[in-house]
Amino acid sequence: MTESFANSTLSPALSQAARAVVVPEDPWPGFARRARRHRQARLVRAAVAVVAGATLVGVQANVVPLPGWAPRVAVAAAPAALLDAPPRGALAGDRAWWDSLRRRISADPSTSTGGSPEGVWKVGDPDRMRLLYGSDQPGHRVALVAVPLRFGLLTKETLVWLVGPTGADARQMRWAGSSEGADSPVMALMRTEPDRGGFAVVVGPADTTVMISGDLRYTARGVLEYENLARPDGGGVGVAVLPSAPLRSEPVVRVSRGAALLYQGGLGGGPYAAPDPTGPELGPLLTAAGRNARGRPLDDAALRTVVASALLDSRLPAAGTTVRVRWSGREGGQAVALLTVQPAGGGVIAYAVHGDDRTGWWTDLRLLLPAEGAEQRPIGWRIRADTGTRTPTGQARVIAPPDAARVTVTVDGSPTATVALDASGAGTTRVPPDRAATLTAYAEDGRLLGTTPVPPVETNMSGLPGDSPATRVVP
């Protein structure tokens, strides 16, 4: 009775409660669906990445054409001063010849790379190719072309010299050199042949003047002068016909804008008749050079070394040149010397050197002086540390002229001081590396003998004495 009552009473309630309970859906089918979608997305992304990677490799290897919308990464650009200038030279107006040359360069990348390992670069948009200069020179046709190159996403611009015989068509033009980057706004080319001479072409910005030096001359007033071989061929272009006989020194290019020097550098290559310091004329020159030298004499080997070095550096022959050792001594176990070199009728070049044949020799001073009064000038140079940096020590060595009883030093911003000299007329004095100083010599009766600045340390010795303000007295 009781059980029957319970069943009849609870069953409807339990059924109603059961119907009210929400049973969650099995989570596994939903998880499986989401996992499938994620896998499919990963596969699609991976496939896209593989295709993109393969395409990028193909583009970078110049196998797959680069789409026009794809960005480029520039790694080098030609100097804007040259690119912005109008085409120069007699061939600038020959449109048919230029179009033919442009097609040749586009079809043959070795024309713009010279067959070097850079041949992996391909010629880019031919419409961006530019003729900067073109003309006929003695026995040659010369062109300077700006060529866009690409290697996949990387691009660069190179300036290319092309040379062929006079009147050459595009097929006869051959690579003769190239340059990249915007470091120098000047392009130069020199071609020489033994016993036949040659030519040099220099292209700078359109508003500049170009000089190409021939033989040099140290004038009696203390100025270095060069014979100018260049003739203009349009604004900013200089062309030189080089003689068949070797020049005495490497031709130097100077590109100026008004009074401002924009560029200076050697042309490089070519035959030069550098003086032979071992010739028979050197013997008598050495005998005269050491005569009346003050201080501790140099031994024969050291004398020969320093004199030959001075002749080579100044590009002067032994014949007709006067060399004098004004003073020599020893410091720190090494020889120290001051000598002067003077061509016939020219200015005087003072050289200060120190060293020995075991450790080598250092040039401490190169200074071009006017011939008049050179013997009465005190000469001083900044002493540098014998280290790789060759930094100034703050001391200067001073050599008095033979007739001097007293030498003073005047450092900018400081009172004049007297230099302590030894019996040979040599001494040292304090001159801060960043301060200008002047030496003045007086005779026994107080008469002024001469005055000379202590030049700054020469940081670039690639030029000749007198090329830079640090190596001359005359402004």
pLDDT over 70 (residue 408): yes
DSSP state of 22: -
Residues in a beta bridge with 255:
210, 263
Least confident interval from 140-144, 193-197, 320-324: 193-197
Whole-number pLDDT of residue 29: 59
- Average pLDDT value for the chain: 82
402: CB partners within 8 A, 6+ apart: 294, 375, 425
Whole-number pLDDT of residue 302: 94
Across residues 415-444, what is the average pLDDT? Answer: 96
Tens of pLDDT, residues 266-322: 887 666 666 666 677 788 899 899 888 999 999 999 999 999 999 989 989 888 899
What b/e string do you get for 158-189 counting C-beta neighbours within 10 Å, with b at 16 or more? bbbbbbbeeebebeebebbbbbbeeebbbbbb
Strand 209-218, strand 252-257: pairing:
antiparallel
- Ordered by start, the domain boundaries in the chain are 76-266, 282-471
pTM: 0.68
In one-letter notation, the amino acid at residue 356 is D
Tens of pLDDT, residues 21-54: 444 455 555 555 666 666 665 655 555 444 444 4
Across residues 379-400, what is the average pLDDT? Answer: 87
Q: Give 300-307's long-range contacts (Cβ < 8 A, gap of 24+).
A: 301/357, 302/335, 302/337, 302/356, 302/357, 305/357, 305/361, 306/337, 306/339, 306/351, 306/353, 306/361, 307/277, 307/282, 307/339
Reported confidence tier of residue 77, pLDDT bands at 50, 70, 90: low
Reported confidence tier of residue 459, pLDDT bands at 50, 70, 90: confident
CA-CA distances (angstroms) from residue 255 to 210, 232, 266, 352? 5, 12, 12, 31
Across residues 118-144, what is the average pLDDT? Answer: 84
